[in-house]
Structure 1
Amino acid sequence: MALVETRSIDYVPLAERRGKVHHLWPVWFMGDAHLATLATGAISVVGGLDLFWSSLAVIGGCALGTVLMALHCTQGPHLGLPQMIQSRPQFGYIGALLVWIVALFTYIGFNALNQSLAASTLKELVGLPEAPAIIGFGLLAALVAGIGYDVIHQTQRVLAYIMLAALAVYTVGFFTAFDLGALLQPGEFKLTLFLVQFFAAAGYQLSWSIYVSDYSRYLPREVGIKSAFLWTFCGAFIGGTWMMLVGAFAGATFTDPDIVVALRRSADAMFGGFGWLMLVSSFFGLITITSLNLYGSSLTLLSVIDSVRPIPLGARARLASLVVCLIASLSLSLGTGGNVMHQFEAFLGVLVYLFTPWTAINLADFFFVRKGRYSIRAMFMAEGIYGRWNWRGLTAYAAGFVAMIPFFKTELYVGPVARALGGADISMLIGLPVSAAIYVLLCRSMDLAGELAQIPALDRNLETEPVR
């Protein structure tokens, strides 16, 4: 194997597939076991909801978001393509730009947050100034992302066991150092805060959907949908729920606005020096998840460019796009000031609105309409069987988004239904069925039999010749 991954957004031939399906759990366990996840779990506690109701909201939200995310992961071994390229059959060669541009902003936003959290951690650990910490952290994460798929998987497997040990000690220590019965005593149920936490957790887990199959596309096709789903769900749900609960517990016991400081104080209350170990363990996870985001953003940027003007699909293009994404995220994190937690809460809310229709349409197409039957080559053809614009997918996306608007709750706009519910935002529960149902209904007029009949000829030499 080459040291640096040679592929980018192109198809991975069956002869190059490798790895074990159980390697998915450490990727997504560590994908969640870091400080940004910690911050997500502390949102409602910081806002004034007690620990009991906050914990239930975290568990429920993580379950909902992780189911959807794990379903997307099953597409990787089956198709051998990055997640975003798989949107072309639903939205069209050019129409898929809609979700790709949204995904790019998501990557850059998450990395800006991760870099800010890393700087806060390094300041707490060694007193390093913010700007050098952000830049150094970003460069280190970019190095891992540049090497690519294999080193990301290998690093996640090592760090997963370290983080498992740290979280286990923290959990046992919390039971012994604090009166858990008093902390978990149910208080006043505040619907708005409960739903904010529930959908923040769900949106956080759902946000992995835009690139989850990037990390399963090299697996052999025979691993199957069920195995890929279960290993991904177990890793992401356990890592996400556990880390968010740590954030909620830390925020409840030490109400510091800086979640990094709260984590260190709660861990030090168990035994001296443990706070330092928890921060170091979480910091390593922050490096690798930033690498995942940079890797995914580079593939998405390539997809955007390729839709406007076809480009060579290889390592050089991937590395060039990686540099552009790194510069964008560094610029944003260096220029971000104010309350990071508050900004992050608003950011997660936007993600729920934008990705709910996409995930519903993508999954409905894969499992109910085309049932996994696609032409790989046609996804790289502007004039192919999927067309430049797919009005069915775009219409379903617009309809799902519009249906969610009355349920929105943001600083700039509160929908009438959200206002009637006391500020509670349940838009995700509306957007999912509306988008999926409209898409499936519109696809009834599609000549699916004619499309499927063309696939054998289009993909005849797929395993021996490049897709373009």
Structure 2
Amino acid sequence: MIEDTNPTETALAGPSRASQVIIETRSIDYVPLTERRGKVWHLSTIWFTGNVHILTVALGFIGIALGANLIWTAIAILTGCAFGTFFMAFHSAQGPQLGLPQMVQSRPQFGFMGAFLVWIVALIIYGGYAASIQILVGDTLEEVIGLPTTIGYFSIALIAILLAVMGHDIIHKAARYLAVLMVVVLAMFSIGIIVVQPFSAEAFDIRSFSLVPFMVQFFTAAAYQLSYSIFVSDYSRYLRPDVSVPETFWWTYAGAAVSGAWMMLMGAAAAWLFPLNDTVGAIIATGDAIVSGSGKILLIAAVVPAFAAGALCFYGGSLTLLSCADSIKQFQPTMLKRVVALVCLGIVTTVIAYSASGSFIAWLENFLFVLGYLLTPWTAINLIDFYVVRRGHYSIREIFSPRGMYGRWSWRGIAAYLIGFASMLPFAVVGDFHGFFARLLGGVDISMLVGLAVSSAIYVWAYRGFDLSTETERIRVADIGIDAGATPQSP
């Protein structure tokens, strides 16, 4: 272990803890090999549970609301989830190799201070998602038990924050139990919808295709799945580094893609069957149509995992907020600091929930598209750096050093991000705004594809002539004594 107590070394060593401690004491610091634990298949249950809640159901309403029929909405959902989860699952594989939270890993690409750029983006995403969950849970609690939405918004934040305070292990354990419960519930109701509800021929008319609703639903589903990238390796970083990239990828992909598609398809079916209802009303009507009086049971089942999903947002958000604070003034990570960060986030998201609760579906659609614009360049840069440029070789010590080998500002990452983001704007559609090329395409938004390609190309070009062998030797020297064998492996 590291003996020195300067700020950089303190961030690496972190508070001492035994693996049996219930409340997590680590936050943005490195997880040493002596504390690595868990099974790789647990990634499937945490990301299954992370998606099986009412917010994911609401996303299935978007294609139907824009005029698509059920079959084309379903195809858009399935392909969109498959596409977005592909990138998200590759981020998950970074956790065991580095033993660090996801967003701290952005320092090698953007610099010690330059990473602020993507951390602010991440905080916007955390806030928007947590607020969305609060809105839907608040509306649900009002519908089911008559609880005022004011109390509902506060309640979801409080419970989610308490779970996040308990930390990594408790969130994983809760997810495993909830995954089993939700598989049973969803299977029953899915079979019920197919058996009991007669869908019209129009619902499955393959000739009834409309490009704009299809593409909006596709990219909404893709952006939603991709958004987990900002904290996906927070929940894989305690695994041992000898867990292979394919194992981490496929267990993460299976849990996230299946649950995301399943819940959105449930939402699409409810929206098609009961088009005049809002999300909560359509879910209740769907359940009641299968078995009288079971609508509220289905609704509650879709709400319970939302507390765990909220915990995921608050937990990841607190680590990102602490990363921001650490860049301004380095400090020893403690549980108290993590709790303070969680409370601050809870206050902010509750305020957002109050301000955005009026026209929720429209707000959510626009939020997800903006999220896609902000997140796409980062995910391209981060993955290209890890898998192509540096091939998994990073110095843990230097990531925490403000004057280290990665610099305070990295022009390569920042330029690739800004150029990639700018390249997306002519293809963007947000509300009444249509970029130049989006208008030429009849209102179809393909900006995510453009941003991925441009950001990747610029970043690879910026690192032409990069000498990986020299940097690898510097890493070996810098990280002597952290952990025997803990230096990240090549993927």
Determine the structure 2 residue equivalent to 1:149. 168
Q: Please give the alpha-carbon distance, in whole angstroms, between the structure 2 residues aligned to 1:139 and 1:256.
A: 33
Q: Structure 1: which 4+ aligned runs deviate by more than 6 Å? A: none
Q: Say if 2:474 is the partner of 1:454.
A: yes
Moved more, 180-189 or 239-248: 180-189
Q: How many residues align?
A: 465
Deviation at 1:192, TM superposition (A): 0.9
CA contact (8 A) 1:191 1:424 kept: yes
1:274 alignment partner AA: S
Cα deviation digits, residues 334-381 of structure 1 (max 9, x gap):
233421110000000001101111000100010000000000110100
Q: Please give the alpha-carbon distance, in whole angstroms, between the structure 2 residues aligned to 1:351 and 1:334.
A: 20
Moved more, 400-409 or 109-118: 400-409
Q: Please give the alpha-carbon distance, in whole angstroms, between the structure 1 residues aligned to 2:162 and 2:100.
A: 23
The residue correspondences of 1:243-258 to structure 2 (distance < 5 A) are 243-258=263-278
1:118 alignment partner AA: V
Determine the structure 1 residue equivalent to 2:402. 382
Long gaps (5+) in structure 1: none
* % same residue: 47
Deviation at 1:256, TM superposition (A): 3.5
CA contact (8 A) 2:356 2:363 kept: no
Determine the structure 2 residue equivalent to 1:431. 451
2:478 alignment partner AA: L
Cα deviation digits, residues 227-266 of structure 1 (max 9, x gap):
0000000000000000000010000101135211101101
Determine the structure 1 residue equivalent to 2:7. none
Determine the structure 2 residue equivalent to 1:201. 221
CA contact (8 A) 1:50 1:187 kept: no
Deviation at 1:14, TM superposition (A): 0.8
Q: Please give the alpha-carbon distance, in whole angstroms, between the structure 1 residues aligned to 2:372 and 2:356.
A: 22
Determine the structure 1 residue equivalent to 2:34. 15
Partner-residue secondary structure (3-state), 1:382: coil
Partner-residue secondary structure (3-state), 1:220: coil
Q: Say if 2:306 is the partner of 1:286.
A: yes
Q: Say if 2:387 is the partner of 1:367.
A: yes
Moved more, 229-238 or 308-317: 308-317
Q: Pick from 310, 317, 322: which aligns with 2:342?
A: 322
Q: Pick from 34, 44, 65: which aligns with 2:84?
A: 65
Deviation at 1:181, TM superposition (A): 6.1
Partner-residue secondary structure (3-state), 1:21: coil
Determine the structure 2 residue equivalent to 1:177. 196
Partner-residue secondary structure (3-state), 1:399: helix
Q: Please give the alpha-carbon distance, in whole angstroms, between the structure 2 residues aligned to 1:448 and 1:309.
A: 30
Moved more, 202-211 or 271-280: 271-280
Determine the structure 2 residue equivalent to 1:126. 145
Moved more, 184-193 or 367-376: 184-193
Cα deviation digits, residues 143-173 of structure 1 (max 9, x gap):
1011100110000000001111111011110
Deviation at 1:416, TM superposition (A): 1.4
Q: Pick from 217, 232, 236: which aligns with 1:216?
A: 236
Q: Say if 2:85 is the partner of 1:85.
A: no
Q: Please give the alpha-carbon distance, in whole angstroms, between the structure 2 residues aligned to 1:412 and 1:99.
A: 26
Deviation at 1:75, TM superposition (A): 0.2
CA contact (8 A) 1:97 1:304 kept: yes
Determine the structure 2 residue equivalent to 1:336. 356
2:338 alignment partner AA: R
Q: Say if 2:431 is the partner of 1:407.
A: no
TM-score norm. by structure 2 comes to 0.93
Determine the structure 2 residue equivalent to 1:237. 257
1:450 alignment partner AA: T
Q: Please give the alpha-carbon distance, in whole angstroms, between the structure 2 residues aligned to 1:256 and 1:80.
A: 48
Q: Pick from 69, 72, 83: which aligns with 1:53?
A: 72
Partner-residue secondary structure (3-state), 2:434: coil
Partner-residue secondary structure (3-state), 1:333: helix
Cα deviation digits, residues 101-120 of structure 1 (max 9, x gap):
01001101111110010011
Cα deviation digits, residues 190-240 of structure 1 (max 9, x gap):
111111100000000000000000000001111210000000000000000
TM-score norm. by structure 1 comes to 0.97
CA contact (8 A) 1:92 1:389 kept: yes
Cα deviation digits, residues 305-337 of structure 1 (max 9, x gap):
111111211212111111111111112112334
Partner-residue secondary structure (3-state), 1:272: coil
Long gaps (5+) in structure 2: 1-19
Q: Please give the alpha-carbon distance, in whole angstroms, between the structure 2 residues aligned to 1:411 and 1:178.
A: 34
Determine the structure 2 residue equivalent to 1:356. 376
Determine the structure 2 residue equivalent to 1:135. 154
Q: Please give the alpha-carbon distance, in whole angstroms, between the structure 2 residues aligned to 1:345 and 1:387.
A: 37
